[in-house]
Homo-oligomer: A and B are copies of this chain.
Amino acid sequence: MFVLVNLKAYDCDPVAIAEAAAEVADASGERIAVAPQAARLSAVADAGVETWAQHVSPVEHGSHTGSTLAEAAADAGAVGTLLNHSERRITLANADDGLGAADRAGLDTVLCANNPAQAAAAAALGPDAVAVEPPELIGGDESVASADPAVVEESVEAVADVDDSVEVFCGAGVSTGADVAAAADLGATGVLLASGVAKADEPESVLRDLVSEI
């Protein structure tokens, strides 16, 4: 299981969380990554944790002010990127081009989707993984794996039908090791989470719990 912590624009210390994640990853041998604001990618990468971007633009080098160039994210230390998060939705064409940009820059890709039909569509574009996150459960108290296990199972099935080399992650409401274990039982190979870690008083103990049942 891959634990991917999206720090969004939360009022948190990305470096402290990165250090905690690096320590828990080392101690447990599990894969944990942290996705900070683009401006903090290098600070997070310097902390020694696997570092992801929250988004990259579908562009190549050129006249694109205010873009998030995949190559710049990679230069800052990112090794992967989310795309099409429900808080940063992009067009179908830009998802396609964003995956191309990430590939050029050597970034792994997780393409987000709201439901099984969108997960299948996302899989057809060939990302490394599809993450299914029902928007209505994001930031909530109950994990998608318990609140709506069918959405995970159906996504795993729908993605496999389209391209069985694409992994399925799930997100929304994930905050405990039991949630991670439940996601794995449903066929997910990774989890996306955010507030559960970013808003925690003690991110390190949350992270330790998250990987405890893998």
Residues of A that sit less than 8 Å from B by CB: 6, 8-11, 36-43, 53-55, 57, 59-69, 71-73, 75-76, 78, 82, 84-96, 113-115, 117-118, 120-126, 138-139, 158, 161-162, 194-195
Contact = CB atoms under 8 A, between A and B. Distances in A.
Tallying the copies of this chain within the complex gives 4
A9 B61 contact: yes
Contact of A87 (B64, B69, B118, B123): B64
A37 B92 contact: no
A124 B120 contact: yes
27 contacts: A6-B65, A9-B57, A9-B60, A9-B62, A9-B65, A11-B61, A36-B72, A37-B68, A37-B69, A38-B68, A39-B41, A39-B53, A39-B76, A42-B42, A55-B66, A66-B82, A66-B87, A90-B91, A92-B92, A92-B118, A92-B122, A93-B118, A95-B121, A96-B117, A117-B124, A121-B122, A124-B124
Nearest to A60: B9
Contacts of A96: 114-115, 117-118, 121
B68 A82 contact: no
Contacts of A76: 39-40, 43
Contacts of A115: 96
A65 B81 CA distance: 11
Nearest to A116: B124
Given A9-B60, A9-B65, A121-B124, 10 more contacts: A9-B61, A9-B67, A10-B62, A37-B72, A39-B78, A63-B194, A65-B82, A66-B82, A91-B92, A124-B158
Contacts of A117: 96, 124-126
